[in-house]
Amino acid sequence: MRTGHGGWEDRVGALYWQGLEAQRGGGSATGAREESLRLHQEAVDIVRGELRSRPDEPRLFEMLASLLYTMAASHTALERPVEAVRLLEESETSYARSGVPAAKRRLLIADVRMRRARAHGLAGHGVSALFCADRAIAAYALAGMPSAGPPRSLELARVLSVASVVHLGHGDPDQALACAGQALSRYRQGIAVLNADKDAHLGYAVDMAADVAARIEAARGN
């Protein structure tokens, strides 16, 4: 999340990074997530306060969208998918009103939709999960991501990994296997990038795609 220079902006930026650090801190995983949410909620409250005086400021909506997206991830990790869905819905509408360049904004919104698909799936909202997943993949396709090489292709691989989980739980196993296979293929192509970039944080997505593929193939006796 980008912030500028100024009293309240510095405070929002500090709270954002403190919240991320809290997730990696000591203590229980639940306690770390709760502390992260507390810090990020304080940042959200500051941004909302600024929006009351400047309701059409695009940069404020960008900051709000980023914070809500991060908070939604914490709620998902804490098994509160309904709250995550609510935050991600507002994150999408906030990105739509932000000043992010159109091409990048479309991909950010697609990413929010994929996260929302995952949250809907965990909440048992099968139709909504599939709808959000399909819209996210379509946005990446329109952006030309299927033909891109690494590292850009790894973003699509992550989206396909989540889609494979959604389809396995609520859709078509064949589609789930197809998404998982495409994701794993892109991970293999980008292995050098993953090994070189310790901040890629894509291990969880690789595991999701591999687990889906393994479960389906095992069920079919392969």
Residue 23 has what pLDDT? 85
Residues 107 and 95 in one domain: no
Helices 203-219 and 173-189 cross at an angle (nearest 10°) of 140
Percent of the chain residues past pLDDT 90, beyond the cut = 76
Residues 123 and 213 in one domain: yes
Residues 219 and 109 in one domain: yes
Read off the pLDDT band of 26 (50, 70, 90): low
DSSP 124: T
Read off the pLDDT band of 203 (50, 70, 90): low
CB neighbour list of residue 26: distance below 8 Å, 6 or more residues apart: 32
Residue 162 has what pLDDT? 92
pLDDT in tens, 153-182: 888 899 999 999 999 999 899 999 999 999
Residues 23 and 76 in one domain: yes
pLDDT in tens, 56-74: 999 999 999 999 999 999 9
Q: Which of 58, 32, 37 is nearest to 47 (CA)?
A: 58
Residue 185 has what pLDDT? 93
Domain count, the chain: 2
Structural domain boundaries enclosing 122? 102-222
Residues 37 and 54 in one domain: yes
Structure tokens at 199: 């901040």
Residues 143 and 117 in one domain: yes
Considering 64, 83, 100, which residue would you say is the last residue of a domain?
Answer: 100
Residues 196 and 121 in one domain: yes
Considering 100, 117, 134, which residue would you say is the last residue of a domain?
Answer: 100
- Are 12 and 46 in contact, with CB atoms under 8 Å apart? yes
Residue 131 has what pLDDT? 95
The domain that holds 43 is classified in CATH as: 1.25.40.10
Model pTM? 0.88
- Are 121 and 129 in contact, with CB atoms under 8 Å apart? yes
Residues 124 and 214 in one domain: yes
Considering 56, 71, 100, which residue would you say is the last residue of a domain?
Answer: 100
pLDDT in tens, 102-154: 999 999 999 999 999 999 999 999 999 999 999 999 999 988 888 888 888 88
Residues 95 and 111 in one domain: no
Residues 120 and 184 in one domain: yes
Between CA 60 and CA 46 the distance in angstroms is: 10
Residues 95 and 170 in one domain: no
Residues 5 and 21 in one domain: yes
- Examine the pLDDT at 2 and tell me if it is beyond 70: no
